[in-house]
Amino acid sequence: MNKANEANFDGLVGPTHNYSGLSFGNVASLNNVDQPSNPKEAAKQGLTKMKALADMGFIQGVLAPHERPHIPSLRRLGFTGSDAKVLEQAAKQAPKILAAASSASCMWTANAATVSPSTDTQDGRIHFTPANLVNKFHRSIEHETTGAILAATFNNPEFFAHHPALPSVDHFGDEGAANHTRFCPEYGEQGIEFFVYGMAAFDASMPRPSQFPARHTLEASQAVARLHGLSENKTVYAQQNPQVIDAGVFHNDVIAVGNRNAHFYHQEAFLNTEKMQQDILSAWGNSAEKFHFIEVPSALVSVEDCVKSYLFNSQLLSHGANDMTIVVPGECQNIPAVWNYLNSLVAGNGPINAVKVYDLKQSMSNGGGPACLRLRVVLNSAEHAAVNPHCLMNDTLYMTLNQWVDKHYRDRLIEKDLADPLLLMESRTALDELTQIMQLGSVYDFQKG
């Protein structure tokens, strides 16, 4: 067995972070529409969490934001002239389209891609497939830049394989690692890749939600598994409960989270919980390591409280065997049922025995908690050494990025500010400097209109 560790690569919040209410099905996003945002505070809150995990001894990386407003998308939609004219026309004729082209949603890198470790893949490399995020226009324009940033971060073809996004149609709607997790006795052993989907696109007889969209399809998950060369007997698919999607659980990581030998989920998370458990145990096999299903009963924590607190949009971090920390947002402390449950959980005899709380209010107000902000990548020592070192968190990078944020970010932004040509110039200037800091090459060049 190769010794390996799970790294977290968090999205750095971009300069145009705002609350435009673009994500139908995401309760927090809709509830905070038109509120002023604070991009500077948002970026610093994310950096604080990244640095804290690095200080705890975990491998922590940073994924750069995308250039916004995205002028090429606006030009494709018929807005013409100089960049300033494009912004002016879009603001006058289609302000919500401008808001979509200005979203900083790439900060939620759980949606950036699906990642399979080298121990799980046929060719022994780590595989990345950027998510097409086709269900939301503002996210569907991300995957090209996401792919470029991932390729600049994991840039050695001996260790890393990069695939293009799946076809951008609803039948292959792919929301990335927000609907994917991995179970394993140890990170360096072959694991179970667990895909959760909202509907089967080519089978109308299967259940699907009626109020909010099922963003991720079975067919997308199956395609990614084929691209990554996964073993059939170590790949498990489960359908999300359509009723919880209609309750605001737009991704599986809002109602469940897994790590190593633990699956932490709500009683109502899956359409068929018993089958999910049986399929995982069958794939787990005869491992000496016990597998833990930690099911939270509705009687103790309601689905509504899960959505309000983002209890399950948490990070499970392993320090060793049966020694896990759960990282949760501050909102969990504000709901007694959730906080009481967490305290009883870590006091029990299960694998989760510590809780860490972080203030991520700027992200949470747009519907993204700790799990949304990170993309998990299992790395052995050789793969770790092959990662772009300028993207790995340490004391120097933390200080440099905080200074960079102070220099380039605004501390207040509302939707009408998105039409300001100065904001675009501020974003471009900031990203040009960031390219040098993180040694990203030309990942932004093709975005400029």
Please give the single-letter amino acid code of residue 381.
S
Contact 55, 20 (CB under 8 A): no
The count of other CB atoms within 10 Å of the CB of residue 35 is 14
Q: Catalytic residues, which ones?
A: 175, 251, 372
Cis status of the peptide bond prior to 69, with omega within 30 of 0 = yes
Structure tokens at 240: 């999300």
DSSP symbol at 424: H
Tokens representing 121 are 């893949």
Residue 336 backbone dihedrals phi, psi, to 5 degrees? -55, -40
Closest CA to 222 of 202, 251, 241: 202
β-pairing, 4-11 vs 292-296, is unpaired
CA 218/CA 221 separation, integer angstroms: 5
Q: Which residue is it, tokens 């082209």?
A: 101
- The tokens of 331 are what? 């909102």
**Distance, CA of 330 to CA of 42 (rounded, Å):** 14
Eight-class DSSP state of 202: T
Q: What is the DSSP letter of 166?
A: P
- 70, 81, 85, 146 from 77: Cα distances, Å: 12, 13, 14, 21
**Do the Cβ atoms of 295 and 187 come closer than 8 Å?**
no
Query: Starting from the edge strand earliest in sequence, which strands make up the sheet with 192-197, in order?
Result: 180-183, 192-197, 235-239
Cβ atoms of 120 and 127 closer than 8 Å: no
Cα angle 114-188-391, degrees, rounded to a multiple of 5: 55
From CA 399, how far away is CA 51, in angstroms rounded? 10
- Site of tokens 């026309």: 89
Q: How distant, in Å, are the alpha carbons of 37, 137, 139, 252 from that of 101?
A: 17, 8, 9, 26
